[in-house]
Protein backbone atom coordinates (compact mmCIF):
# COMPACT_ATOMS: atom_id res chain seq x y z
CA UNK A 1 0.00 0.00 0.00
CA UNK A 2 1.48 3.38 -1.08
CA UNK A 3 1.78 6.32 1.29
CA UNK A 4 -1.07 8.23 -0.40
CA UNK A 5 -3.29 5.19 -0.26
CA UNK A 6 -2.36 4.62 3.38
CA UNK A 7 -3.31 8.23 4.23
CA UNK A 8 -6.62 7.83 2.38
CA UNK A 9 -7.30 4.58 4.24
CA UNK A 10 -6.59 6.24 7.61
CA UNK A 11 -8.92 9.13 6.68
CA UNK A 12 -11.73 6.68 5.83
CA UNK A 13 -11.23 4.92 9.19
CA UNK A 14 -11.29 8.18 11.13
CA UNK A 15 -14.42 9.43 9.30
CA UNK A 16 -16.23 6.08 9.80
CA UNK A 17 -15.33 5.95 13.50
CA UNK A 18 -16.33 9.58 14.03
CA UNK A 19 -19.71 9.02 12.33
CA UNK A 20 -20.35 6.01 14.56
CA UNK A 21 -19.43 7.82 17.78
CA UNK A 22 -21.50 10.91 16.82
CA UNK A 23 -24.54 8.71 16.01
CA UNK A 24 -24.08 6.81 19.28
CA UNK A 25 -24.05 10.04 21.29
CA UNK A 26 -27.00 11.43 19.31
CA UNK A 27 -29.03 8.29 20.04
CA UNK A 28 -28.13 8.49 23.75
CA UNK A 29 -29.33 12.12 23.84
CA UNK A 30 -32.53 11.19 21.93
CA UNK A 31 -33.23 8.41 24.42
CA UNK A 32 -32.57 10.70 27.37
CA UNK A 33 -34.95 13.35 25.97
CA UNK A 34 -37.70 11.27 24.41
CA UNK A 35 -37.27 7.72 25.75
CA UNK A 36 -40.00 6.24 27.95
CA UNK A 37 -39.75 7.24 31.61
CA UNK A 38 -40.80 4.57 34.09
CA UNK A 39 -43.13 6.16 36.59
CA UNK A 40 -41.99 5.76 40.19
CA UNK A 41 -44.83 5.16 42.62
CA UNK A 42 -45.05 6.79 46.04
CA UNK A 43 -44.76 3.84 48.46
CA UNK A 44 -46.89 5.61 51.09
CA UNK A 45 -49.90 5.95 48.76
CA UNK A 46 -53.07 4.01 49.63
CA UNK A 47 -53.80 1.02 47.32
CA UNK A 48 -56.61 1.69 44.87
CA UNK A 49 -60.10 0.32 44.99
CA UNK A 50 -62.70 -0.49 42.36
CA UNK A 51 -66.07 1.20 42.80
CA UNK A 52 -68.89 -1.24 43.37
CA UNK A 53 -71.68 1.27 44.09
CA UNK A 54 -71.43 1.13 47.89
CA UNK A 55 -69.71 3.59 50.13
CA UNK A 56 -68.33 3.50 53.62
CA UNK A 57 -67.32 6.21 56.05
CA UNK A 58 -63.99 4.40 56.56
CA UNK A 59 -63.30 4.28 52.84
CA UNK A 60 -59.83 5.57 51.94
CA UNK A 61 -59.59 8.85 50.09
CA UNK A 62 -58.32 8.63 46.54
CA UNK A 63 -56.77 11.45 44.58
CA UNK A 64 -57.86 10.06 41.23
CA UNK A 65 -60.78 8.22 39.73
CA UNK A 66 -60.26 6.59 36.36
CA UNK A 67 -62.57 4.51 34.18
CA UNK A 68 -61.46 1.50 32.18
CA UNK A 69 -63.70 0.07 29.46
CA UNK A 70 -62.71 -3.48 28.53
CA UNK A 71 -63.88 -4.98 25.24
CA UNK A 72 -63.55 -8.74 24.76
CA UNK A 73 -63.20 -10.78 21.57
CA UNK A 74 -66.97 -11.44 21.29
CA UNK A 75 -67.68 -7.70 21.52
CA UNK A 76 -68.96 -7.83 25.11
CA UNK A 77 -67.83 -4.99 27.35
CA UNK A 78 -67.15 -4.35 31.00
CA UNK A 79 -66.61 -0.96 32.55
CA UNK A 80 -64.59 -0.58 35.76
CA UNK A 81 -64.25 2.61 37.76
CA UNK A 82 -61.12 2.72 39.88
CA UNK A 83 -60.31 5.03 42.76
CA UNK A 84 -56.55 5.26 43.08
CA UNK A 85 -53.51 7.16 44.27
CA UNK A 86 -51.27 5.36 41.78
CA UNK A 87 -49.13 7.38 39.40
CA UNK A 88 -49.04 4.85 36.54
CA UNK A 89 -51.71 2.93 34.69
CA UNK A 90 -49.88 -0.31 35.47
CA UNK A 91 -50.10 0.15 39.25
CA UNK A 92 -53.77 1.19 39.14
CA UNK A 93 -54.71 -1.86 37.04
CA UNK A 94 -52.48 -4.29 38.94
CA UNK A 95 -53.96 -3.23 42.28
CA UNK A 96 -57.30 -4.41 40.90
CA UNK A 97 -55.68 -7.58 39.51
CA UNK A 98 -57.02 -6.48 36.13
CA UNK A 99 -53.83 -7.13 34.16
CA UNK A 100 -51.03 -9.68 34.05
CA UNK A 101 -48.26 -10.39 31.60
CA UNK A 102 -44.59 -10.85 31.04
CA UNK A 103 -41.83 -8.51 32.14
CA UNK A 104 -39.86 -7.36 29.13
CA UNK A 105 -37.07 -4.91 28.47
CA UNK A 106 -39.82 -2.39 27.64
CA UNK A 107 -41.79 -2.98 30.88
CA UNK A 108 -44.83 -5.19 31.39
CA UNK A 109 -46.08 -6.82 28.19
CA UNK A 110 -49.78 -7.23 28.99
CA UNK A 111 -51.04 -10.68 27.98
CA UNK A 112 -54.08 -11.02 30.25
CA UNK A 113 -56.82 -8.50 31.01
CA UNK A 114 -59.66 -9.26 33.43
CA UNK A 115 -58.76 -12.96 33.33
CA UNK A 116 -58.78 -13.22 29.53
CA UNK A 117 -55.44 -14.04 27.88
CA UNK A 118 -54.68 -12.92 24.33
CA UNK A 119 -54.26 -16.01 22.16
CA UNK A 120 -51.06 -15.86 20.07
CA UNK A 121 -52.42 -18.56 17.76
CA UNK A 122 -55.34 -16.25 16.92
CA UNK A 123 -52.91 -13.30 16.63
CA UNK A 124 -54.71 -11.52 19.45
CA UNK A 125 -53.30 -8.67 21.51
CA UNK A 126 -54.59 -6.24 24.11
CA UNK A 127 -54.68 -2.71 22.69
CA UNK A 128 -54.76 0.23 25.13
CA UNK A 129 -56.53 3.46 24.19
CA UNK A 130 -57.00 6.81 25.88
CA UNK A 131 -59.73 9.10 24.55
CA UNK A 132 -60.01 6.90 21.48
CA UNK A 133 -56.32 7.12 20.59
CA UNK A 134 -54.01 4.10 20.69
CA UNK A 135 -51.47 4.57 23.49
CA UNK A 136 -47.87 4.86 22.36
CA UNK A 137 -46.54 4.13 25.84
CA UNK A 138 -46.47 0.92 27.87
CA UNK A 139 -48.56 0.58 31.02
CA UNK A 140 -45.42 1.28 33.12
CA UNK A 141 -44.85 4.67 31.55
CA UNK A 142 -48.47 5.79 31.08
CA UNK A 143 -49.35 8.41 33.72
CA UNK A 144 -52.91 8.70 34.98
CA UNK A 145 -54.89 11.77 36.01
CA UNK A 146 -58.21 12.19 37.75
CA UNK A 147 -61.08 11.64 35.31
CA UNK A 148 -59.03 9.74 32.72
CA UNK A 149 -60.91 7.18 30.63
CA UNK A 150 -59.05 4.26 29.12
CA UNK A 151 -60.24 1.52 26.81
CA UNK A 152 -58.62 -1.89 26.59
CA UNK A 153 -59.67 -3.94 23.56
CA UNK A 154 -58.80 -7.47 22.51
CA UNK A 155 -57.77 -7.00 18.89
CA UNK A 156 -56.09 -9.06 16.20
CA UNK A 157 -53.08 -8.10 14.10
CA UNK B 1 -16.97 -35.03 -4.04
CA UNK B 2 -17.51 -32.03 -6.26
CA UNK B 3 -16.54 -28.60 -4.91
CA UNK B 4 -20.10 -27.33 -5.24
CA UNK B 5 -21.50 -30.11 -3.05
CA UNK B 6 -18.76 -29.56 -0.49
CA UNK B 7 -19.60 -25.84 -0.44
CA UNK B 8 -23.29 -26.68 -0.03
CA UNK B 9 -22.53 -28.84 3.01
CA UNK B 10 -20.29 -26.10 4.37
CA UNK B 11 -23.08 -23.52 3.89
CA UNK B 12 -25.42 -25.78 5.90
CA UNK B 13 -22.77 -25.98 8.63
CA UNK B 14 -22.41 -22.17 8.62
CA UNK B 15 -26.20 -21.81 8.98
CA UNK B 16 -26.09 -24.13 11.98
CA UNK B 17 -23.25 -22.04 13.41
CA UNK B 18 -25.43 -18.93 12.99
CA UNK B 19 -28.33 -20.55 14.90
CA UNK B 20 -26.04 -21.93 17.64
CA UNK B 21 -24.31 -18.56 18.11
CA UNK B 22 -27.69 -16.84 18.39
CA UNK B 23 -29.01 -19.33 20.95
CA UNK B 24 -25.75 -19.36 22.93
CA UNK B 25 -25.83 -15.58 23.42
CA UNK B 26 -29.60 -15.35 23.89
CA UNK B 27 -29.14 -14.77 27.63
CA UNK B 28 -27.41 -11.45 26.87
CA UNK B 29 -30.04 -9.05 25.50
CA UNK B 30 -29.01 -7.51 22.17
CA UNK B 31 -25.51 -9.01 22.18
CA UNK B 32 -25.16 -11.26 19.15
CA UNK B 33 -22.71 -12.68 16.63
CA UNK B 34 -25.22 -13.04 13.78
CA UNK B 35 -24.30 -9.65 12.30
CA UNK B 36 -20.55 -10.38 12.28
CA UNK B 37 -21.03 -13.91 10.92
CA UNK B 38 -23.29 -12.70 8.11
CA UNK B 39 -20.77 -10.00 7.15
CA UNK B 40 -18.05 -12.68 6.98
CA UNK B 41 -20.28 -15.10 5.03
CA UNK B 42 -21.10 -12.31 2.54
CA UNK B 43 -17.43 -11.43 2.06
CA UNK B 44 -16.28 -15.03 1.64
CA UNK B 45 -19.35 -16.79 0.21
CA UNK B 46 -21.28 -14.07 -1.64
CA UNK B 47 -23.33 -16.56 -3.67
CA UNK B 48 -24.20 -18.82 -0.73
CA UNK B 49 -25.05 -16.07 1.76
CA UNK B 50 -28.58 -15.68 0.36
CA UNK B 51 -29.23 -19.40 0.86
CA UNK B 52 -27.79 -19.16 4.39
CA UNK B 53 -30.05 -16.19 5.21
CA UNK B 54 -33.12 -18.00 3.80
CA UNK B 55 -32.30 -21.12 5.86
CA UNK B 56 -31.57 -19.06 8.99
CA UNK B 57 -34.84 -17.10 8.77
CA UNK B 58 -36.79 -20.30 7.94
CA UNK B 59 -35.37 -22.14 10.97
CA UNK B 60 -36.00 -19.15 13.26
CA UNK B 61 -39.63 -18.99 12.06
CA UNK B 62 -39.94 -22.74 12.65
CA UNK B 63 -38.52 -22.35 16.19
CA UNK B 64 -40.19 -19.12 17.33
CA UNK B 65 -42.63 -17.95 14.66
CA UNK B 66 -45.80 -19.18 16.35
CA UNK B 67 -48.50 -16.53 15.93
CA UNK B 68 -46.61 -14.67 13.17
CA UNK B 69 -44.85 -12.05 15.33
CA UNK B 70 -43.55 -8.79 13.82
CA UNK B 71 -39.89 -9.85 13.84
CA UNK B 72 -40.61 -12.31 11.00
CA UNK B 73 -41.35 -9.37 8.69
CA UNK B 74 -38.24 -7.60 10.01
CA UNK B 75 -36.01 -10.62 9.38
CA UNK B 76 -37.23 -10.86 5.78
CA UNK B 77 -35.61 -7.54 4.84
CA UNK B 78 -33.06 -6.73 7.54
CA UNK B 79 -30.58 -9.58 7.08
CA UNK B 80 -30.68 -9.32 3.26
CA UNK B 81 -30.12 -5.57 3.70
CA UNK B 82 -26.99 -6.27 5.77
CA UNK B 83 -25.73 -8.70 3.12
CA UNK B 84 -26.47 -6.13 0.38
CA UNK B 85 -24.58 -3.34 2.18
CA UNK B 86 -21.67 -5.75 2.81
CA UNK B 87 -21.54 -6.65 -0.88
CA UNK B 88 -21.42 -2.96 -1.82
CA UNK B 89 -18.47 -2.47 0.56
CA UNK B 90 -16.75 -5.78 -0.14
CA UNK B 91 -13.38 -4.23 -1.09
CA UNK B 92 -12.77 -3.28 2.55
CA UNK B 93 -10.92 -5.71 4.80
CA UNK B 94 -10.26 -3.44 7.77
CA UNK B 95 -11.79 -4.75 11.03
CA UNK B 96 -12.47 -1.13 12.07
CA UNK B 97 -14.61 -0.48 8.98
CA UNK B 98 -16.61 -3.67 9.58
CA UNK B 99 -16.91 -2.89 13.28
CA UNK B 100 -18.47 0.45 12.30
CA UNK B 101 -20.83 -1.24 9.81
CA UNK B 102 -21.88 -3.83 12.42
CA UNK B 103 -22.19 -1.07 15.03
CA UNK B 104 -24.44 1.01 12.77
CA UNK B 105 -26.56 -2.06 12.00
CA UNK B 106 -27.08 -2.58 15.76
CA UNK B 107 -27.84 1.09 16.34
CA UNK B 108 -30.38 1.19 13.51
CA UNK B 109 -31.94 -2.20 14.29
CA UNK B 110 -34.87 -0.67 16.21
CA UNK B 111 -35.51 2.02 13.59
CA UNK B 112 -35.47 -0.59 10.81
CA UNK B 113 -37.73 -2.89 12.85
CA UNK B 114 -40.25 -0.08 13.26
CA UNK B 115 -40.79 0.36 9.49
CA UNK B 116 -43.71 -2.14 9.22
CA UNK B 117 -45.41 -0.38 12.15
CA UNK B 118 -45.69 2.79 10.05
CA UNK B 119 -48.14 0.87 7.83
CA UNK B 120 -49.81 -1.11 10.64
CA UNK B 121 -50.26 1.49 13.39
CA UNK B 122 -49.06 4.82 11.97
CA UNK B 123 -45.87 6.87 12.13
CA UNK B 124 -46.43 8.02 15.75
CA UNK B 125 -46.61 4.43 16.99
CA UNK B 126 -43.55 3.47 14.95
CA UNK B 127 -41.52 6.35 16.42
CA UNK B 128 -42.75 5.49 19.94
CA UNK B 129 -41.73 1.85 19.38
CA UNK B 130 -38.29 2.98 18.19
CA UNK B 131 -37.84 5.34 21.16
CA UNK B 132 -38.95 2.65 23.63
CA UNK B 133 -36.15 0.37 22.47
CA UNK B 134 -33.49 3.00 21.75
CA UNK B 135 -31.47 2.13 24.84
CA UNK B 136 -31.24 -1.47 23.64
CA UNK B 137 -30.22 -0.29 20.17
CA UNK B 138 -27.30 1.55 21.81
CA UNK B 139 -26.33 -1.67 23.64
CA UNK B 140 -26.71 -3.58 20.34
CA UNK B 141 -24.54 -1.05 18.48
CA UNK B 142 -21.75 -1.06 21.07
CA UNK B 143 -21.89 -4.89 21.34
CA UNK B 144 -21.71 -5.34 17.57
CA UNK B 145 -18.84 -2.83 17.31
CA UNK B 146 -16.78 -4.48 20.07
CA UNK B 147 -17.37 -8.08 18.95
CA UNK B 148 -16.60 -7.29 15.31
CA UNK B 149 -13.46 -5.35 16.20
CA UNK B 150 -12.22 -8.26 18.31
CA UNK B 151 -13.31 -11.23 16.22
CA UNK B 152 -13.36 -10.08 12.58
CA UNK B 153 -9.74 -10.90 11.81
CA UNK B 154 -9.48 -14.34 13.54
CA UNK B 155 -12.86 -15.51 12.21
CA UNK B 156 -12.07 -14.24 8.71
CA UNK B 157 -8.80 -16.17 8.79
CA UNK B 158 -10.51 -19.34 10.04
CA UNK B 159 -13.31 -19.16 7.47
CA UNK B 160 -10.99 -18.36 4.59
CA UNK B 161 -8.71 -21.27 5.53
CA UNK B 162 -11.67 -23.65 5.86
CA UNK B 163 -13.00 -22.56 2.48
CA UNK B 164 -9.62 -23.09 0.85
CA UNK B 165 -9.52 -26.61 2.27
CA UNK B 166 -13.04 -27.30 1.06
CA UNK B 167 -12.36 -25.96 -2.44
CA UNK B 168 -8.99 -27.65 -2.94
CA UNK B 169 -9.73 -30.78 -0.93
CA UNK B 170 -6.32 -30.35 0.71
CA UNK B 171 -5.55 -29.79 4.39
CA UNK B 172 -2.86 -27.10 4.68
Q: Which residue of A has its CA nearest to B97?
A: A13
d(CA B41, CA B83): 9
Residues of A in contact with B133 (CB under 8 A): 105-106
CB contact A24 to B (< 8 Å): yes
- pTM exceeds 0.80, yes or no: no
CB contact A134 to B (< 8 Å): yes
Strand bridging mode A64-71 / A49-50: unpaired
Strand bridging mode A64-71 / A149-156: parallel
CA distance B21 to chain A (A): 21
Phi, psi (deg, nearest 5) at residue B170:
-115, 140
**Considering CB atoms only, which of B120, B132, B137 is closest to A36?**
B132
Phi, psi (deg, nearest 5) at residue A64:
-135, 145
CB atoms within 10 A of CB B147: 21
Question: What is the enclosing helix (H) or strand (E) of B37?
Answer: helix B34-44
Whether A17 and B100 lie within 8 Å, measured CB to CB: yes
Whether B136 and A13 lie within 8 Å, measured CB to CB: no
**Considering CB atoms only, which of B107, B125, B136 is closest to A134?**
B125
Query: Which residues of B fall below an 8 Å CB-CB distance to A?
Result: 29, 66-68, 94, 96-97, 100, 103-104, 107, 120-122, 124-125, 127-129, 131-138, 141-142, 145
ipTM computed for the complex: 0.87
What's residue A54's pLDDT?
46
Disruptive mutation site among A37, A105, A118 for chain B (greatest number of B CBs within 10 Å): A105
Q: What is the pLDDT of residues B120-132, one digit of tens each?
A: 878 888 888 898 8
Average pLDDT, chain A: 86
Q: What is the pLDDT of residues A22-77, one digit of tens each?
A: 999 999 999 999 887 777 777 666 566 665 444 455 667 788 999 999 999 999 99
Q: Is the pLDDT of residue A17 over 90?
A: yes
**Considering CB atoms only, which of A13, A106, A121 is closest to B96?**
A13
pLDDT tens track, chain B, 172 positions: 688 899 999 999 999 999 999 999 988 988 999 999 999 999 999 999 999 999 999 999 988 876 667 788 999 999 999 999 999 999 999 999 999 999 999 999 999 999 998 988 788 888 888 988 899 999 999 999 999 999 999 999 999 999 999 888 776 6
Amino acid sequence: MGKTEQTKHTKVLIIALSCFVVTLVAFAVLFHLYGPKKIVEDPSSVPSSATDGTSSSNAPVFAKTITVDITFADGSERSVTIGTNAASLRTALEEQSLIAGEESEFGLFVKTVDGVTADDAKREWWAFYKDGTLLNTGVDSTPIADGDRFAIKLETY
Amino acid sequence: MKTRIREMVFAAFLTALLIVSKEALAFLPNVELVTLLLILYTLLLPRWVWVIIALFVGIEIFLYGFGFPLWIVNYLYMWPLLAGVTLLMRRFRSPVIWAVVAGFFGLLFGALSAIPLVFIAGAASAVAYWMAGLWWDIVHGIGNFALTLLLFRPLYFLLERSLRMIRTGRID
